Amino acid sequence: MAEQKGARSQPEMSERELLVVFTPSGRRGRFLPGTTVLHAAQELGVDIDSVCGGRAICGRCQVVLSEGSFAKHGIESYPENLSSLGENEVEYRRLHSLEPSRRLSCSTRILGDVVIDVPPDSQVHKQVVRKRAEVHDIEVDPLVRLHFIEVPEPNMHDPSGDLERVCQELEFEWGLTGLTCDLHVHQTLQDNLRKGEWKVTVAVFRQREIIALWPGFRDQALGIAVDVGSTTIAAHLCDLSSGKVLASSGMMNPQIRFGEDLMSRVSYVMMHPGGEKELTEAVRSAIRQLSQEVCKASGHEPSDVLDMTFVGNPIMHHLLLGLSPLELGGAPFALVTDQALELKASELGLDMHPGTRAYLLPCIAAHVGADAAGMVLSEAPYLREEMTLLVDVGTNAEIVLGNRDRLLAASSPTGPAFEGAQISCGQRAAPGAIERVRINPETLEPRFKVIGCEAWSDDPE
């Protein structure tokens, strides 16, 4: 791969090789004059982003020249050691905002020894630093990546298929080998190649499956993260390359009409054979609705969404998948599976893009579900020395205690999960429920406030 790339982009010169040092990685190497900065970075394995593969279209590969005399590297690094702005880069600057100090590494050639800084936002594995100080950074490493390629046209002397030429180019430019391809991509491939005049953007899942292909250049792939709770369902639309949340929405879980708590939904299935189908359809239709809402709110189409991730307690997890929750209703509470699942979203009746993938986090045990796994992943107590107690209070509460040596998990009904079917006084935290109680320390007179009403019980009407 590296050799092929070299053969294409490295000019034939016989001058002395120039020293290039990348920061912050510290990787260094010697290259022939005229080598592009992006090519040098790729040869050295420096983490630098690119969707368009060096065509000055995507603007992902920005770098900054570190100016000055670097005694420790033995480098005098000055602007004249890089090529001046070329036509492509001038055009990119005309169309997009680009800080004057920044260069597109794909269009900048090395003319002398240089120190090049790769800013965090130009890295593929950029870290999202979260606001709250106590939480660890999260590395953005999406399963779906976009790749812009130019495909050779077919000719009578080379009887290969259009897809094989797409795959060749993905191997040549991006080092991707052994790719499979979704049938729906086959079905529109020839049309899209010709509409894009043989320039197309390809979405590749896990570096192994072609899941979408569009004519021309495309820069954004979206994902939706869904938390399927017993009482509420929440969805977040994310930009897969930046990790940024573009829109969020939530709604009551419509399964509530089959039972307010988990156990009464299991009872519903016991009493109504086949009732799990209704529960499954209810949760899936809620997810469809939320997906449409978050797309609309951010000006996107559901077909822009290529990846979806789900968490939920084991009963929600099973019902979303169309699995009967009956075994979870009684000891020994056997899960169908405790492993993470990778599916097509269409298998869950979610009609986003036909290539959209769905990922369900693993369940930990019978009543400690994928939501608890998500909490552990997010808070990462397994990275810490100190003992941490995590509690996710919902209709059930999941509790995780531990540190890097060992984690223990348990769960317990908190709200009406078990007692809902038994108690005569009590309700969800909805309008009418008592929210606060105050007792006057002198008169011992109590007063309270209920949800849905601004006034305290003893306020004058």
* Given 105, 192, 324, 356, the residue binding its own copies (CB under 8 A): 324
Q: Which stretch binds its own copies (CB under 8 A): 116-124, 242-250, 299-307, 324-332?
A: 324-332
Q: Rounded to whole angstroms, how far apart are CA atoms 58 and 242?
A: 14
* Given 7, 71, 183, 444, the residue binding its own copies (CB under 8 A): 183
Q: Which stretch binds its own copies (CB under 8 A): 52-60, 233-241, 316-324, 434-442?
A: 316-324
- Residue of 380, 375, 382, 376 whose CA lies nearest to 404: 382
* Given 308, 321, 345, 361, the residue binding its own copies (CB under 8 A): 321
* Binding-site string for its own copies from residue 161 to residue 180, where x marks contact by CB under 8 A and - marks none: xxxx---------------x
* Given 46, 57, 181, 240, the residue binding its own copies (CB under 8 A): 181
Residue whose structure tokens are 């820069």? 219
> Does residue number 408 form part of the binding site for its own copies (CB under 8 A)?
no
Reported as type and span, the H/E element at residue 376 is helix 370-379
Q: Which stretch binds its own copies (CB under 8 A): 41-49, 76-84, 253-261, 322-330?
A: 322-330
> Does residue number 211 form part of the binding site for its own copies (CB under 8 A)?
no
> Minimum distance between the CB of residue 458 and its own copies, rounded to whole angstroms?
50
E-state strands within 253-371: 305-312, 341-344, 357-360
Q: Rounded to whole angstroms, how far apart are CA atoms 47 and 61?
A: 10
Report helix, strand or coil for 195: helix
> Minimum distance between the CB of residue 185 and its own copies, rounded to whole angstroms?
10
CA distances from 23 to 55, 64, 108 (A): 23, 10, 17
User: Scanning residues 86 to 145, which ones bind its own copies (CB under 8 A)?
Assistant: none
> Minimum distance between the CB of residue 410 and its own copies, rounded to whole angstroms?
11
User: How many CB atoms within 10 Å of residue 230?
Assistant: 24
For the chain, helix, strand, coil in percent to 5 are 30, 30, 40
Report helix, strand or coil for 349: coil
Instruction: Name the token pair of 241.
Output: 């390359």
* Binding-site string for its own copies from residue 342 to residue 381, where x marks contact by CB under 8 A and - marks none: xx---x---------------xxxx---------------
The residue count for binding its own copies (CB under 8 A) is: 40
> Minimum distance between the CB of residue 369 and its own copies, rounded to whole angstroms?
12
Characterize 43-65 residue by residue with b for buried, 16 or more Cβ atoms within 10 angstroms of its Cβ, and e for exposed.
bbebebbbbbbbbbbbbbbbbbb
Strand bridging mode 222-228 / 305-312: parallel
> Minimum distance between the CB of residue 342 and its own copies, rounded to whole angstroms?
8
In angstroms, the first-to-last Cα distance of the chain is: 79
Report the residue number, 271 or 444, with the smaller CB distance to its own copies: 271
* Given 159, 299, 441, 460, the residue binding its own copies (CB under 8 A): 159
> Does residue number 189 form part of the binding site for its own copies (CB under 8 A)?
yes
Report the residue number, 182 or 239, with the smaller CB distance to its own copies: 182
DSSP 52: S
User: Scanning residues 220 to 279, which ones bind its own copies (CB under 8 A)?
Assistant: none
> Minimum distance between the CB of residue 363 and its own copies, rounded to whole angstroms?
7
User: Scanning residues 325 to 344, which ones bind its own copies (CB under 8 A)?
Assistant: 326-327, 331-339, 341-343
CA distances from 382 to 137, 239, 340, 388, 444 (A): 14, 27, 19, 9, 48
Residues that bind its own copies (CB under 8 A): 154-156, 159-164, 180-181, 183, 186-187, 189-191, 321-324, 326-327, 331-339, 341-343, 347, 363-366
